[in-house]
Structure 1
Amino acid sequence: MKYLFALLLTVNVVFYLWESRQGSAGIVNSELKLPPSAGERIVLIAELPSIPKKPAPPKPLAPPEPPPVKPAEKPVEPEVVKDAAPVPLVPACYWLGPYESDGDARRVLAALPAELKEAEVHRRSGEVPNGYWVLYPKAESMELARVNRQMLVDKGVRDLWVFDKGELQGAISLGLFTLRERAEAAAQQFRAQGIAAVEVHPRMVRNEAPWIKLQWPGDRTELERLIGVQGVALQACP
């Protein structure tokens, strides 16, 4: 057995040495630059297969373009509204009165301001004063009116009359005078006696009387201030 193992080992060593020598000879022959044989053709470099070029590195991405800048909008100028032409005021018609006589109405007409040059005196039918009452004001009931009458009697008033019907019901008459000036003087005397609430009230009757007709384009309050309405009425024309 030992001999058989030694024989196999020797054969393997010899085979290894032989293989090593054959490999070295092949390497030497491959390194020698021998001219080509007559049957071989020289291959030009241009005929060699092209070596693929390495792909060019990708170009860097361009930065994103900024959004377009919109031009600034021109501010819209407000439309200038032209003032409308003033609308002319239409004069309003008024009646001023009534007066006791044409002479009284014409005296007032002559004293009116220049703005009322177109005013004229006219006679018209309506409620006109016919005398002037000096009155103690109306009571809320006839019972209170009788209480007021007794108070006046206690103050020395003897000539008096209690209205028991009509628009003056509950008032007490202290006298009737033809002229307003006399009625005002009597009222002042009663006030001096401590009867401060007395007042002058015209007695109105239906009759024809002089009035002043005028035109005024402005406010009625301004007209009243301008002409100083006192003791008469200012009525709008129908």
Structure 2
Amino acid sequence: MKLKWIFAALVLANIGLWMWASWYQDAPVEETRAARAPVAPEKMRLLNEPGVKLVPRKQPPPANAELTASVAPACFHIGPFPDVDLVARAETRLNELPLTYSRRAEETRSVTGYLVYLPPLSSPKAAERKRQELTRLGFKDHALMQEEGMQNAISLGLFTVEANAASRVRELAAKKIQARIQPFQQTRTRFWLDVAVRAPAETQGKLRQIDWAAKDVQVQEIACPAGSSPPPAKPPGLRDNAPG
């Protein structure tokens, strides 16, 4: 009886040994590993060995590199601004970009109206008699003038449109009143901001999107002065007016 159990145990042990050899034995290394290229030790050099230069890895270009490259740095005239408050507001916007600029004032004379008048008369009494005559003829819009060079002249209306002034002169001429037209000129000061340092492409885009709060203001590209260059780029994380 004992011999039977011993025989059975030997059979089971042989079966287990066969299963382990068939299922769990590692495959030969030569069949699983890819062949390695032969090593040429004569071509190998240490990084700290004299004469060895490190070559930096090329960085991929930014997504908008082509767009940025197609826009060349440029300079600009910005204006005209009709008053000091608006140009000061614009300067604040340029400081935020930031851009180097200068303010320029420009005085212009323009016609703002047309005065219809009678030339100076000999005396205030003569001027008053003429005004009474004008009233009888149906012209009630008149006034005595006493400004320098126009003493005892009579104003017959101030018009913003020259054609309307000419029409009034014709109405007076039909009543035998010879009136004249004098353009009214006014000096106006307008302001410009000149960006004379080359603005980078990305700054140009921001510059053209600013609302200047004045309908006549334009951003005009101009030729940059010789020797102008864009401001140096700031290191990452550096901010203006950062506390020390």
TM-score clears 0.5? no
Structure (1 or 2) with the larger CA radius of gyration: 1
TM normalised by structure 1 equals 0.32
